[in-house]
Structure 1
Amino acid sequence: MVTALNRRLGGGLLHHANSLPDDIALTLGGREYTYHEVADTARRWAASIVEAAGPRPRRVGVLASRSPAAYLGVAAALCAGAAFVPLSRHLPPRRTRAMLEASALDALIVDAASLEQLPRLLDGLPHRPALLLPDSARTSRGDLGEGPVLHAADLAAATRLEQLPEPGCDEAAYVLFTSGSTGEPKAVPITHANIRAFLTVNQDRYRLTRQDRLTQIGEQTFDLSVFDLFMAWENGARVCVMDPRELPAPFAYLEREQITVWFSVPSVAAALRRCGVLTPGSMPTLRWSLFCGEALPRATAEAWQAAAPASVVENLYGPTELTIACTVHRWDAHTSPAQCVHDNVPIGLPYPGLHTLIVDEDLTPVADGATGELCVAGPQTTPGYVQAPHLNAERFFVRDGERYYRTGDLVRVHHGQLVCIGRNDHQVKIDGYRIELGEIEAVLRRAGAVEAVCLLWPDAATITAVLCGAPDPAAVTEACARSLPPYMLPAHVHTLATMPLNTNGKVDRTALRRWLDDQPVPGRLHETAPHS
């Protein structure tokens, strides 16, 4: 239902706090939080944000992971009329610092486990936000700099914010960061109108009720978590935060919590299949099994369907810039196998209200059945990257009055369904994370390499770097590890005296790949961390 109260993201949470106050909104660490408790706490924290940062804060960071502060902080930011900006202590501090600088936060909510990083992140920050430390007692720490610092007692004593600021539909509801080709993360704002369009389409499709229980598997810096939280809270359901230690064998957790909606990257399901634990009938409570973030292998879909026989399996597709997902394919054991290409499940058909074009390099529509870049327009399209006019000019274009986003994904129509063939640039997906290889190259160059080229070799899940002019390749890769999250670290590093060039004077990646094919595969420098 969309009422005047819940046109804003988070309005459904407030509605259900009034109508179903004792229903459970969140299960976390063995504790249950009612809708009333979540909304009441969010309003108190929102009052503190407004008092410390002003009546209309624009952005509130949430530096927290799988803690009450992580989820209540998101709700508080929205109640304060601000966009929430999820941050994670599991990312390298340098990367988080770049996000803080780009965000210009008005307030920052920090849980106890993330507090140790805070002084380093704040040191010399041009715009120091007000700090909310809901897990911490009052201290006289001087390493947090000057500015408001609100502790647990302050937040508990705050009066509820009754008159909530009303953000406009075109104002940001949240900001996520994706990998950037310049070496800096790109800030992607998603407006209230963007996410409302997404939630409406998905509720029309999935018809969630107060009896549903949704998983929350990934970090909140990954946009699948927005689906988990707000498909639950907007519809009176419960979101259940799974302990990562249960992920290698989640069946007892699903049964204990009576989970009805699963949402994850396909690699989680593939790992269960490889381990031989994805057995038929092992997940009887599920009624929806949703996958997004990377290619879904046909064999994984088949095994999951057998393990969750009462559920509908769907493959969703979409970049952050198009608000979580924009196309979907419903798995059908009889028809879907013939629709697969490269043994991957189709990405399906666009959501209602979205427009798609498949174009060549000149943005000319390709012939029916031909391969081209997928471009999407409609109400889920971000207004554009923050402070990146050149990138916006590159990634967006207007045609016939519609503003299209260039996804960079090559697709074609096969048996009436969109199928994804690969990338048309150097952006890749590993374990569900969208990665700009150019960002890794930029970090390697800053660390001492004169030239650096990254590509997927010897397989589509392994990043290999080739360096020129690096006086100490080991030192370069160590510096890389201090700046990038584990899933972006090259597994192999080779050195060359000169890079092969094509006729345009650019690095010839095809020639470079042929050269690598003649080299022995070295031992892995880094093990790619599984998505959690």
Structure 2
Amino acid sequence: MTTALDRRLGAGLLHHASALPDGVALTIGRRDYTYEETAVTARRWAGALVEATGGRPRRIAVFAQRSEVSYLGVAAALFAGAAFVPLNRKFPTARTRDMLARAEVDAVLADAASAAQLPELLAGLDPCPVVLLPDAKRAEVPGLDDRYRVLDATDLAGFAALAELPEPAPDDPAYLLFTSGSTGAPKGVPVTHANVRAFLDVNQDRYRLTPEDRLTQTFDQTFDLSVFDLFMAWENGARVCSMDPIELLAPFKYLERNGITVWFSVPSVAAVLRRRGVLRPGTMPTLRWSLFCGEALPRATAEAWQAAAPYSTLENLYGPTELTIACTAHRWDPATSPAECVHDNVPIGRPYPGLNAVVVDERLADVPDGEPGELCLAGPQTTPGYWRAPELTAQRYFERDGLTYYRTGDLVRHRGGQYVCLGRNDQQVKIGGHRVELGEIEAVLRRAGALEAVALQWPDDGTITAVVSGAEDTAPLADACTAGLPAYMVPRSVQVIEEMPVNANGKVDRAALRRWLAERAADHG
């Protein structure tokens, strides 16, 4: 009989610590971490978490980036029976503090490079979470005074590995991820152990990873695609290799040196390599899987990558956070896939086994097969709703025939047994693989003094331009965006228009705004 412990996220790491103790679980730079070392260290930190929080903690923030603390901290949180909450030191402090407060974390695991931000982040939080500094000393972090309970590297070295791990229920959250929100505040998405287990099972059936495989880790951990890298590796005795972002500019030597067999990134990484002329045929011979997700995959990029990785199978994955990492996939076939592309983008493919897909109109009525509509999916990967936001949950989830469907907000067409994506049906877009609510940017601009604000993808899909009215000086608006938004959400420029164009329904005419921007650019060209 399968126990809750067997099905928990992280069970594979525990198993392989016994079965393959000397196998490498993680590579950061030139440093390798064996399965035994990874599990023992994470269990020791888990013991500290359980003792410091007075029992099984609920949620643990991991405030670290591409470090031992960032990866082993995730395992430690899970071993302690908690959900992990990834945070990013590159995000504005106010945004991160809001996430900390809303998540009501019991403890924060921080690495040395992130710890300096802790006093400002924790100021005013009540109750204040316990702080763990596995690779730093308390004295090295000014401002962490006696008001805070801190366990630093010296303290943690004295803890024994947690012997009895709390057993989470399948419906307990494994992680809580915050995504861009149209109200100006990030939305929390709790993803359960059962959700992730369903995803991992489907993907292992699909990719058949073994201890011989080595996976890239190209994503920040605040991007849920990183969960694939870590746990597809750890569940199957493979190695995950954390890549420094600068290595993405020319990854070929890294792939060869580390014997990478599974590549996973947003398509824009491949597109940049193609534009730079370095994605040459045969340059990535070690790859057996090439996976892309997070935004549209252009046909030309897929073709160039396939030629550069000739021994790999290339797949285009699709899925919002609310459907647990990815939920559909298209396997690229050089003979047939080019003709199946729409708007020169690769199809998103077929839903994973166990998922039900429907395509609906604005009234949630099914549209005829082949007609465009909003893609909605139900099944074991469907998350339970937004974190403490029942009204928002009611807007994006609905019940039908005993199943709970999530409305993706993506317009698709069902054609030839698979789905092609036609774009968004709302203001949610993808920039560099990150999901962005344009309304969140607009909310920041209005709060900073703009009467009206519209954020657009212009002049291309990878660039955000803002147009505002009722403001003369754009500098304070640009500064507010820089201070309040992650870098990938900050508009490239803020343009002032005297009056917003509207359509026959009285709504802002975004097409007219794009024409205005193009004319303005031509006049100043």
Q: Under a length normalisation based on structure 1, what TM-score does the superposition of the two structures give?
A: 0.96
Residues in 1 aligned to 2:471 and 2:84: alpha-carbon distance in whole angstroms: 40
Matches within 5 A, 1:14-29: 14-29=14-29
The alpha-carbon deviation at position 471 of structure 1 amounts to 4.3
Say whether residues 1:316 and 2:337 are aligned partners: no
3-state secondary structure, aligned to 1:112: coil
Once residues 380 and 522 of structure 1 are traced to their aligned partners in structure 2, the CA distance between those partners, rounded to angstroms, is 50
State the SS of the aligned residue for 1:408: strand
Give, in angstroms, the shift of residue 3 of structure 1.
Answer: 6.4
> Distance in 1 between the 2:144 and 2:107 partners?
17
Unaligned stretches of 5+ in structure 1? 525-532
Percent identity over the alignment is 68
- Match runs of 1:117-266 below 5 Å: 117-139=117-139, 142-144=143-145, 146-266=147-267
CA contact (8 A) 2:4 2:167 kept: no
Shift of 1:504: 4.3
Alignment of 1:298-447 (within 5 A): 298-447=299-448
- What root-mean-square deviation, in Å, do the aligned CA atoms of Structure 1 and Structure 2 show? 1.7
CA contact (8 A) 1:59 1:82 kept: yes
CA drift at 1:142: 4.7
Report deviation, 1:143. 3.8
CA distance in 1 between partners of 2:370 and 2:75 (Å): 45
**Structure-1 separation of matches of 2:182 and 2:4:** 40
Q: Which residue of 1 aligns with 2:291?
A: 290
Name the SS for the 2:131 alignment partner. Answer: strand
When residues 363 and 523 of structure 1 are mapped into structure 2, their CA distance, relative to the original with a 3 A threshold, is farther
Contact 2:66–2:242 at 8 Å: present in 1 too?
Answer: yes
Query: Displacement of 1:505 after TM fit?
Result: 3.9
8 Å Cα contact 1:188/1:321 also seen in 2:
yes
In the TM superposition, what is the alpha-carbon distance from 1:38 to its structure 2 partner? 0.6
Alpha-carbon deviations, 1:18-61, whole Å to 9, x = none?
11111110111211111110110111100110111121211000
CA distance in 2, matches of 1:87, 1:100: 9
Identify if the C-alpha distance between structure 1 residues 2 and 260 changes in structure 2 by more than 3 Å, giving closer, same or farther: farther
1:270 aligned residue: 271
Structure 2 residue 35 is matched with structure 1 residue 52: no
Change (3 A) 1:105 1:305: same
Structure 2 distance, partners of 1:177, 1:239, is: 24
Distance 1:521 1:233 in 2: 53
Opposite residue 97 of structure 2, the aligned amino acid is R
2:5–2:168 CA contact under 8 A, matched in 1: no
Q: Deviations over 1:89-142 (max 9, x none)?
A: 111112111111111100100000001111111111233110000111243955
Cα deviation, residue 503, structure 1: 4.5
Corresponding letter in the other structure for 2:306: Q
Is the aligned partner of 1:470 residue 2:467?
A: no
Distance 1:277 1:470 in 2: 44
CA distance in 2: counterparts of 1:513 and 1:307, whole angstroms = 36
State the AA in 2 paired with 1:242.
M
Q: Which amino acid letter does the alignment assign opposite residue 379 of structure 1?
A: P
- Measured in 1, the distance between the counterparts of 2:487 and 2:273 equals 21
Q: State the shift of 1:383 in Å.
A: 0.4
Which amino acid in the other structure matches residue 104 of structure 2? A
- Asked if 2 retains the 8 angstrom alpha-carbon contact of 1:6 and 1:15, the reply is no
Contact kept? 1:122, 1:144, Cα under 8 Å: no
What is the DSSP-based 3-state SS (H/G/I as helix, E as strand, rest coil) of the residue aligned with 1:518?
Answer: helix
Q: Is the contact between residue 296 and residue 345 of structure 1 (CA under 8 Å) also seen in structure 2?
A: yes
Aligned pairs for 1:35-50 (under 5 A) are 35-50=35-50
CA distance in 2, matches of 1:128, 1:325: 35
The amino acid that maps onto 1:386 is: W
Give the direction of change, closer, same or farther, for the CA distance of 1:496–1:377 in structure 2 (3 Å limit).
Answer: same
Rounded Cα–Cα distance in structure 1 between residues aligned with 2:507 and 2:302: 40
CA deviation profile, 1:218-257 (whole Å, cap 9, x unmatched): 1110111100000000110000111222211111111110
Q: Contact conserved, 1:5 with 1:12, CA < 8 A, in 2? A: no
Cα pair 1:481 1:489 within 8 Å, conserved: yes
Contact 1:5–1:15 under 8 Å retained in 2: no
Deviation of 1:13 (Å) = 0.3
**Across the two proteins, how many residue pairs are aligned to each other?**
524
